[in-house]
């Protein structure tokens, strides 16, 4: 049985050699981690215990890739704005797509304002642009964070 000093400076253990080998493979401890054999008074680096540390680099267990939640943080606001304000392109501006947002805003405003001037003839254009925003908002919200980041943040896909 062994005790060891963690990265936080606290003493942990006693633990079995097998457990330390697992932690070594997981990179939770390393060759320089201070270890004390049960009953001993001195602390030694882990690589001085041949029964635990074989000298060769253990296989690294890499964690699954994590998506930084900050990179996917615009998914919900963009999705909700796409659904509610899709005809004005607000969701495009949230994602940083200024040109696509500008197109939607211009068409949306021209359709709304022009509709009043033409007794509603241009209002169907606003309906079309709003449906586009609605569909995009639903698409954003149904994607996983990983997929959203891959397609819309890293991939730069502006439409649908």
pLDDT in tens, 32-53: 889 998 888 899 988 888 888 7
d(CA 34, CA 116) in angstroms, rounded, equals: 78
d(CA 7, CA 57) in angstroms, rounded, equals: 20
Which strands form 11-15's sheet, in the order they lie side by side?
A: 11-15, 2-5, 34-37, 44-45
d(CA 4, CA 44) in angstroms, rounded, equals: 9
Residues 65-80: pLDDT tens digits? Answer: 555 666 788 899 999 9
pTM: predicted TM-score of the whole model, two decimal places: 0.55
d(CA 38, CA 80) in angstroms, rounded, equals: 59
CA 69 to each of CA 5, 76, 94: distance values in angstroms, whole numbers, following the listed order: 32, 12, 16
């Amino acid at each position: 049985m062994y005790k060891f000093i963690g990265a936080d400076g606290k003493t942990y253990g006693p633990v079995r050699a097998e457990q330390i080998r697992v932690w070594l493979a997981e990179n939770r401890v390393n060759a320089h981690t201070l270890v004390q054999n049960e009953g001993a008074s001195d602390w030694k680096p882990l690589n001085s215990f041949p029964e635990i540390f074989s000298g060769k680099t253990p296989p690294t267990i890499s964690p699954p890739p994590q998506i930084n939640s900050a990179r996917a943080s615009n998914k919900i606001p963009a999705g909700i704005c796409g659904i509610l304000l899709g005809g004005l392109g607000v969701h495009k501006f949230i994602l940083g797509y200024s040109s696509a947002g500008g197109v939607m805003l211009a068409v949306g405003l021209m359709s709304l304002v022009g509709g009043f001037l033409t007794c509603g003839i241009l209002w169907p254009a606003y309906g079309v642009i709003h449906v586009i925003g609605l569909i995009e908002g639903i698409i954003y919200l149904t994607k996983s964070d990983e997929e959203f980041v891959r397609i819309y943040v890293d991939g730069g896909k502006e439409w649908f």
